[in-house]
Amino acid sequence: MAQEAQAKPLPQITDLTRPFWTAAKNRKLVMQKCTRCGTMNFYPKAWCVECGNRDLQWVETKPTGTVYSYTVATAVMMNFPGWKDDLPIVLGIIDVDDGARMYGQITDCAPDKVHIGMRVQAYFADISEEAAVPKFRPV
Amino acid sequence: MRGEVAIVGYGRTPYSRAKPGERILTVDEYIAWAAELALQSAGMSKNDFDGQGLGIAHAEASHTVNWSAAVAEGLGISAKVLLRADQGGASGAALLIRAAAMIKAGIIDRALIIGADTPCTIPSVAPGLPLSPERTRGVFWDFQGPFAVMGANSQFALVQTRYMHQYRLREDELSRSLGKIASVSRYHASLNPGAIYRKPFTIEEYLASRILSYPVRLFDCVPLVNGGLAYIVTSAKTAAKVTKKPVHLLGFDEINNYYHGPRTAPDITYTGFEQTAPAAFKMAGIECKDIDLFLPYDDYPMVVQIQMEDYGFCKKGEGVRFVQERDLTFRGNFPISTDGGQLSGGQPGGAIGGFMPIIEAAAQLRAEAGERQVKDVKFVASSGFGGMTYARNNRSCVSLIFGSER
């Protein structure tokens, strides 16, 4: 692992998480749906956090959601130095409409205009040959 | 379990920011130093713990999978029971509950509990990055790092923004409240020779400190230090023999991975303390109004204010008014964080800071707190608070109630 040389962190992709990164590469947001109770799980889990069923199915969610909370980073802390050029970075907790809660960067919006309850839509930014990350912008 | 065990000794090493030119101690040296101070305080020898309990908190500098056994080997203690907690800032408090249960069950009579870490000198993944390999591996990191989560600053900021929204607070109202908590902590640090940052600041100076991750400021953030802490817990019977000033554990409760509301959409302005604090008070047979000193886990002032609410000192969402109306200094009507807290005292790693409220509770209840001594203190409430979950609040909550009398 040549993490030292990386400007921004890259995921160590496993068979568990690969469907998420591959889907994002194909401009789709997917999460694990429990085949028993229907709960959407995120980040990728080994079983359903609601009912304990190990049979989870990757399903596509709507790319839309609502901002549950947000913060505006003006310094890089506990992350890789490559983020420095992107500051200020708006990071949100997004309630995905038919999915689960997730972290996501909010872009294309002045930081002081971001607000809780704001409607957002996912788009995808490639971070490697194998992976892309969903980010969000106002609808 | 009320009053079954007591703390009979404690120790806290000087802290270090590992500045150039300083002698750099390893985690093993801090463990031994903290243990020595605790043993001196209790008037005991390390050999008193052969066949007894030895507890150690997992730290970022832990250098083997068999951490507790390796610590026993390093110290030359043949412990019957090894206790190890890996609950971050809740470890120090969780270990006390584990030890108390073992003592009550008659398996051991006493335990030496230690925590130490060297976050300023652990090997990080890249030069200049305060990230241990442990923090940058696995699915938990993979769904944070690449998404631009900036560690605890981001996570606490997200709680703070939501809190302002939900309880309809203006940013300046909440900031002034958090500034008061931070500046009182600093004032107390100025009275504690062991604290790392001791120059007092005002609320205005707090407000002028730069924003790192809105709404979290520089003066909201805990400074990391290298250091170690330890305490000794015994059965009440042994405590009565070895000291005139036992610090009785009167109540406790713990919850891990707490959700307020549905698992998939919980309210992140609440912590598990809303459950553990009432249970701990019930065991102790006392109420909020009986508490003379509150020593919450205090790495961010927002965490302190939320705990005031979740412990029941005031209603949910009324923390700002509660802070405004009270004198939080050691002479005041609601003293908090009398050691300077982690905010100004320094945090010996996210895994070990949780020992500080326990050590300060013991110092205060034994009237050994020097210039910052709270007068006539009988009951202390403290907490351990460990780890941040994904897009929620914290992972582990432990509430403890201590008393000078059984």
Percent of chain B with pLDDT over 70: 98
Confidence category of residue B124, pLDDT binned at 50, 70, 90 = low
Report whether B75 contacts B48 (CB < 8 A).
no
Report whether A70 contacts B216 (CB < 8 A).
no
pLDDT computed for residue B135 by the predictor: 79
| b (16+ CB within 10 A) / e for B180-203 | bbbbbbbbbbbbbebbbbbeebeb
| b (16+ CB within 10 A) / e for B344-370 | bbbbbbbbbbbbbbbbbbbbbbbeebe
Per-residue pLDDT at B49 exceeds 90: yes
Which of A86, A103, A116, A118 to mutate against chain B (most B CBs within 10 Å)? A103
Q: How do B81-85 and B53-57 pair as beta strands?
A: parallel
| Chain A residue closest in CA terms to B269 | A69
Confidence category of residue B129, pLDDT binned at 50, 70, 90 = low
Q: Give per-residue pLDDT as tens, B52-77.
A: 999 999 998 888 999 999 999 999 99
| Chain A residue closest in CA terms to B215 | A71
Q: Give per-residue pLDDT as tens, B305-348.
A: 999 999 999 999 999 999 999 999 999 999 999 999 999 999 99
Confidence category of residue B169, pLDDT binned at 50, 70, 90 = very high
CA distance A72 to chain B (A): 5
Per-residue pLDDT at B218 exceeds 80: yes
Polymer length of chain A: 139
Query: Between chains, do A77 and B213 touch, taking CB under 8 Å as contact?
Result: yes
Mean model confidence pLDDT for chain B:
96
pLDDT computed for residue B15 by the predictor: 97
Compute the C-alpha angle B222/B225/B228, nearest 5°. Answer: 120
CA distance A123 to chain B (A): 13
What is the Cα–Cα distance from B60 to B352, expressed in whole angstroms? 10
Which of B122, B135, B147 to mutate against chain A (most A CBs within 10 Å)? B147
Q: Give per-residue pLDDT as tens, B268-285.
A: 999 999 999 999 999 999
Q: Give per-residue pLDDT as tens, A17-59.
A: 999 999 999 999 999 999 999 999 999 999 999 999 999 999 9
Polymer length of chain B: 406
Confidence category of residue A1, pLDDT binned at 50, 70, 90 = very low
* Helices B301-310 + B151-166 axis angle, to 10: 50
Q: Give per-residue pLDDT as tens, A52-110.
A: 999 999 999 999 999 999 999 999 998 998 999 999 999 999 999 999 999 999 999 99
**Residues of chain B contacting residue A124, judged by C-beta atoms under 8 Å apart:** none
Query: Between chains, do B213 and A50 touch, taking CB under 8 Å as contact?
Result: no
Backbone dihedral region for residue B128 (phi beyond 0: left; psi -120 to 50: alpha; all else: beta): left
**Residues of chain B contacting residue A7, judged by C-beta atoms under 8 Å apart:** none
Query: Between chains, do B146 and A133 touch, taking CB under 8 Å as contact?
Result: yes
Query: Between chains, do B148 and A12 touch, taking CB under 8 Å as contact?
Result: no
**Residues of chain A contacting residue B140, judged by C-beta atoms under 8 Å apart:** 43
Report whether A100 contacts A31 (CB < 8 A).
yes
pLDDT computed for residue A6 by the predictor: 64
| Chain B residue closest in CA terms to A114 | B161
**What is the end-to-end Cα distance of chain B in Å, rounded?**
11
Does residue A127 or residue B123 have the better pLDDT? A127
**Residues of chain A contacting residue B135, judged by C-beta atoms under 8 Å apart:** 78
Query: Between chains, do A86 and B148 touch, taking CB under 8 Å as contact?
Result: yes
Query: Between chains, do B154 and A73 touch, taking CB under 8 Å as contact?
Result: yes
**Residues of chain B contacting residue A71, judged by C-beta atoms under 8 Å apart:** 153-154, 157-158, 160-161, 213-216
pLDDT computed for residue B390 by the predictor: 95
- For B316, residues 6+ apart whose C-beta sits below 8 A from its C-beta are B167, B269, B270, B309, B310
Confidence category of residue A3, pLDDT binned at 50, 70, 90 = very low
Per-residue pLDDT at A5 exceeds 60: no
**Three-class DSSP category at B218:** helix
Query: Between chains, do B158 and A39 touch, taking CB under 8 Å as contact?
Result: no
| Chain B residue closest in CA terms to A95 | B265
Query: Between chains, do B146 and A9 touch, taking CB under 8 Å as contact?
Result: yes
| Chain B residue closest in CA terms to A15 | B139
Which of B60, B131, B137, B142 to mutate against chain A (most A CBs within 10 Å)? B142
Q: What domains can you pick out in chain B, each with its CATH number?
A: 5-124+228-242 (3.40.47.10), 151-217+250-403 (3.40.47.10)
Which of B122, B124, B135, B143 to mutate against chain A (most A CBs within 10 Å)? B143
Between the alpha carbon of residue B319 and those of residues A43, A103, B312, the distances in Å are: 32, 27, 10
Closest Cβ–Cβ partner in A9, A73, A116 for B165: A116
Confidence category of residue B350, pLDDT binned at 50, 70, 90 = confident
**Residues of chain B contacting residue A100, judged by C-beta atoms under 8 Å apart:** 264
Query: Between chains, do A9 and B145 touch, taking CB under 8 Å as contact?
Result: yes
**Residues of chain B contacting residue A49, judged by C-beta atoms under 8 Å apart:** 263-264
Per-residue pLDDT at A2 exceeds 50: no
Report whether B393 contacts B159 (CB < 8 A).
yes
| Chain A residue closest in CA terms to B143 | A43
pLDDT computed for residue B125 by the predictor: 56
Q: Give per-residue pLDDT as tens, B288-305.
A: 999 999 999 999 999 999
Confidence category of residue A7, pLDDT binned at 50, 70, 90 = confident
pLDDT computed for residue B122 by the predictor: 80
Report whether A100 contacts A41 (CB < 8 A).
yes
**Residues of chain A contacting residue B137, judged by C-beta atoms under 8 Å apart:** 12
Tokens of B182: 């931070």
**Residues of chain A contacting residue B142, judged by C-beta atoms under 8 Å apart:** 11-13, 17, 43
Query: Between chains, do A71 and B211 touch, taking CB under 8 Å as contact?
Result: no
Segment B122-137 shows an average pLDDT of: 68
- Residue recorded with tokens 């584990």: B98
Percent of chain B with pLDDT over 90: 91
